């Protein structure tokens, strides 16, 4: 059995359709006719954009408008005056089009790859897709066509790019296996949109698996079974049919309140990365936005976004949500993200360095325009401000003082805002958990970021494979931190939400119900399954399970208990 990341749930049973990468090697050369080389580049870019638009139209027709925006974003990326201008400068300096394209694209890939969050990392995959697409045209190579994949195909590829996805015939492809990608990568997003099971980050999959080889994949747990036995095929066929039946049944949760089995109401909202995602959240029946990451406004530009640019983005999300809550996290950026115009210093340990609220408080020239834009956006909906990476009370009081200063400025300028705007804390450090009682006296709400809370509590670098076995929100230390944060919030009447991956974990949900979590913020596609999982547990049953779990000593014991009890309970 091979293991990877379960990125799109479901069972796929079929035969391997192997896609090998093109050889995009070339010999760099100095050019003499600059105008001719610029013409080559521009012609290749135009050809790439024309093809990308056609693929986007096809994806919109077969999958959806939001998924098509991924490819349309590639067109906007290569047409950006800064990126295109930098490539042309290198050509004017004597480099060939291939070398110039690769140099500038690789610069952006390195910037985005250095980030710690998957959403920013995905920008690197976008640039790589653009680079390879234009290089193919420059080198005169045919593009990979997967439209003729036969029925019961399991695609196996190093990285499934959005440009490849346009050729997928959903009726023929029953599974996807890649060597690269995460749960938030475009490979995963597109696979989930197509409702095709997918297992990503399977080491050496292209070398280990052979063309036409029989294979089973489980996109929920991230397993791949090559050459399955007859008994395995029979069992997984049964599981596949059960999964399809269950997925259809999720439709009955559309439009329903999110309640426990005994009628306790909680809030179910979505995590988004840009204002357009707000519509997707609504389409997936989310009750609001629990986390709007604002980094996209800063990462894709050659200069600091203005207050007006930011206002338009935040205002758009607020208007789409029509009065539903929109929690917007202020800039969470630091030394691990190389943004030239911010003048950030490279740090040996950026996760413990000059980042997030620490950076913002030292750079009011960056922070104040964002705070002013957020305040002004609050005139158009229920916008709330969330402060990331808090480790001491002073950080919260300093941000609140800066917000008050911005309010006074807006008053003098006669610009509207909500004077009662809520200001919350993202509880994602072990320090914030330890002083949760003190922070609860300053904050209007808490939101637990379990991804970083787990990382900081367990002292684990999420990207370090040698210690990844310690990275688990089932660890007793992490569970106790979550429980304490919620208890401290309750004591001060501060609502507590959760915006990390754990909020959508069906195994963890009974513990969160028992602890008293008020809000669950999940990916838009996980809204209905999370609503269902919450509906299956009463507070009494959840409390009984939590009492058992919180007495256990190890992550292994916790996980085994949750699996056993949940399996019995759900039957």
Residue 199 has pLDDT above 90, yes or no: yes
Residue 166 has pLDDT above 60, yes or no: yes
Between 6-15, 187-196, 210-219, 435-444, the lowest mean confidence (pLDDT) is in 187-196
Q: Residue 552 carries which DSSP code?
A: -
Bridge pairing between strands 445-448 and 423-427:
parallel
The arithmetic mean of pLDDT across residues 379-392, rounded, is 97
- Convert the pLDDT of each residue in 522-552 to its tens digit: 988 889 999 999 999 999 999 999 999 999 9
Which range among 68-72, 190-194, 245-249, 383-387 has the greatest average pLDDT? 383-387
Instruction: Give the largest CA-CA distance in the chain.
Output: 78
Q: Give the pair of three-digit tokens for residue 355.
A: 């980042």
Q: Residue 537's pLDDT is what?
A: 96
Pick from 400, 403, 399: which is nearest to 374 by CA?
A: 403
Q: Residue 68's pLDDT is what?
A: 77
For the chain, helix (H) and strand (E) counts, in that order, are: 23, 16
- Our answer to whether residue 186 is catalytic in this structure is yes
Q: Residue 63's pLDDT is what?
A: 67
How far apart are alpha carbons 171 and 167 in whole angstroms? Answer: 12
Q: Higher model confidence: residue 305 or residue 404? A: 404
Are residues 174 and 196 in contact, defined by beta-carbon separation less than 8 angstroms? yes
Q: Give the pair of three-digit tokens for residue 35.
A: 């105008």
Q: Higher model confidence: residue 463 or residue 62? A: 62
The arithmetic mean of pLDDT across residues 199-203, rounded, is 91
Of the pLDDT bands very low, low, confident and very high (cuts 50, 70, 90), residue 567 is low
Residue 336 has pLDDT above 60, yes or no: no
Between 96-105, 177-186, 197-206, 490-499, the lowest mean confidence (pLDDT) is in 177-186
Of the pLDDT bands very low, low, confident and very high (cuts 50, 70, 90), residue 518 is very high
Radius of gyration of the chain (CA): 24
Task: Output the CA torsion 448→451→456→458 (10° steps).
Answer: 110
Are residues 247 and 32 in contact, defined by beta-carbon separation less than 8 angstroms? no
The arithmetic mean of pLDDT across residues 360-369, rounded, is 94
Which range among 182-186, 315-319, 341-345 has the greatest average pLDDT? 315-319
SS3 292: strand
Pick from 506, 526, 455: which is nearest to 286 by CA?
A: 526
Of the pLDDT bands very low, low, confident and very high (cuts 50, 70, 90), residue 395 is very high
- Our answer to whether residue 406 is catalytic in this structure is no
Residue 165 has pLDDT above 80, yes or no: no
Which member of 49, 74, 96, 186 is catalytic? 186
Percent of the chain at pLDDT exceeding 70: 94
- Convert the pLDDT of each residue in 239-271 to its tens digit: 999 888 888 888 889 999 999 999 999 999 999
Q: Higher model confidence: residue 336 or residue 175? A: 175
Of the pLDDT bands very low, low, confident and very high (cuts 50, 70, 90), residue 497 is very high
pTM beyond 0.75, yes or no:
no
Residue 286 has pLDDT above 90, yes or no: yes
Are residues 267 and 519 in contact, defined by beta-carbon separation less than 8 angstroms? yes
Beta bridge partners, 198, equal 8, 176
The residues near 446 (Cβ < 8 Å, ≥ 6 apart) are 424, 425, 427, 436, 439, 440, 485, 489, 494, 495, 496, 497
**Residue 270 parent element (H or E):** strand 267-272
Residue 571 has pLDDT above 60, yes or no: no
Q: Higher model confidence: residue 501 or residue 45? A: 45
Which range among 279-288, 453-462, 538-547 has the greatest average pLDDT? 538-547
Q: Higher model confidence: residue 301 or residue 51? A: 51
Mean of per-residue pLDDT scores for the chain:
89
Residue 327 has pLDDT above 90, yes or no: yes
Distance of CA 209 to the CA centre of its chain: 29
Between 6-20, 257-271, 316-330, 375-389, the lowest mean confidence (pLDDT) is in 6-20
The residues near 413 (Cβ < 8 Å, ≥ 6 apart) are none
Q: Residue 313's pLDDT is what?
A: 94
The arithmetic mean of pLDDT across residues 315-319, rounded, is 96
């Amino acid at each position: 059995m091979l293991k990877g990341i379960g990125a799109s749930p479901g069972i796929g049973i079929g035969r391997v359709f192997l896609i090998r990468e093109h050889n995009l090697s070339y010999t760099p050369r100095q050019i003499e006719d600059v105008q001719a080389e610029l013409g080559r580049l521009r012609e290749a870019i135009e050809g790439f954009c024309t093809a990308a638009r056609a693929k986007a139209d096809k994806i919109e027709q077969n999958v959806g408008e939001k998924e098509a925006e991924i490819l349309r974003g590639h067109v906007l990326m290569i047409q950006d005056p800064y990126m295109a201008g930098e490539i042309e400068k290198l050509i004017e300096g004597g480099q060939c089009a291939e070398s110039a394209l690769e140099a500038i694209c690789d610069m952006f890939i390195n910037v985005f790859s250095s980030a710690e969050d998957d959403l920013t990392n995905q920008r690197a995959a976008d640039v790589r897709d653009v680079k390879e697409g234009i290089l193919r045209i420059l080198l005169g190579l045919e593009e990979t066509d997967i439209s003729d994949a036969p029925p019961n195909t399991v695609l196996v590829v190093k990285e499934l790019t959005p440009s490849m996805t346009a050729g997928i015939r959903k009726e023929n492809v029953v599974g996807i296996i890649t060597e690269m990608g995460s749960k938030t990568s475009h490979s995963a997003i597109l696979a989930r949109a197509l409702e095709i099971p997918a297992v990503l980050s399977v080491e050496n999959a292209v070398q280990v698996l052979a063309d036409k080889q029989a294979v089973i994949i489980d996109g929920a747990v991230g397993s791949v079974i090559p050459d399955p036995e007859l008994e395995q095929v029979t069992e997984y066929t049964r599981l596949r049919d059960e999964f399809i039946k269950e997925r259809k049944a999720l439709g009955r949760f559309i439009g329903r309140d999110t309640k426990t089995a005994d009628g306790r109401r909680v809030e179910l909202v979505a995590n988004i990365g840009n204002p357009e995602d707000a519509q997707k959240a609504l389409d997936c029946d989310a009750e609001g936005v629990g986390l709007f990451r604002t980094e996209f406004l800063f990462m894709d530009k050659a200069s600091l976004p203005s207050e007006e640019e930011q206002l338009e983005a935040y205002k758009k999300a607020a208007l789409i949500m029509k009065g539903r809550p929109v929690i917007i996290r202020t800039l969470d950026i630091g030394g691990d993200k190389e943004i030239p115009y911010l003048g950030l210093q490279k740090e040996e340990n950026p996760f413990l360095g000059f980042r997030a609220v620490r950076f913002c408080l030292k750079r009011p020239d960056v922070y104040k325009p964002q705070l002013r834009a957020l305040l002004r956006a609050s005139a158009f909906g229920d916008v709330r401000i969330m402060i990331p990476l808090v480790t001491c009370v002073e950080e919260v009081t300093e941000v609140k003082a800066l917000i008050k200063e911005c309010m006074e400025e807006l008053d003098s300028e006669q610009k509207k805002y909500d004077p009662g705007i809520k200001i919350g804390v993202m509880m994602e450090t072990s320090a914030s958990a330890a002083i949760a009682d003190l922070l609860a006296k300053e904050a209007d709400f808490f939101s637990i970021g379990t991804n970083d809370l787990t990382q900081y509590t367990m002292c684990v670098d999420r990207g370090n494979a040698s210690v990844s076995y310690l990275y688990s929100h089932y660890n007793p230390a992490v569970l106790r931190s979550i429980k304490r944060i919620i208890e401290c919030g309750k004591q001060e009447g501060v609502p507590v939400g959760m915006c990390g991956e754990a909020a959508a974990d069906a195994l963890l949900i009974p513990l969160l119900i028992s602890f008293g979590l008020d809000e669950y913020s999940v990916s838009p596609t996980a809204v209905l399954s999370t609503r269902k999982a919450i509906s299956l547990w009463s507070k009494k049953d959840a409390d009984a399970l939590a009492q058992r779990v919180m007495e256990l000593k190890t992550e292994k014991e916790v996980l085994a208990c949750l699996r056993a009890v949940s399996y019995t309970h759900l039957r």
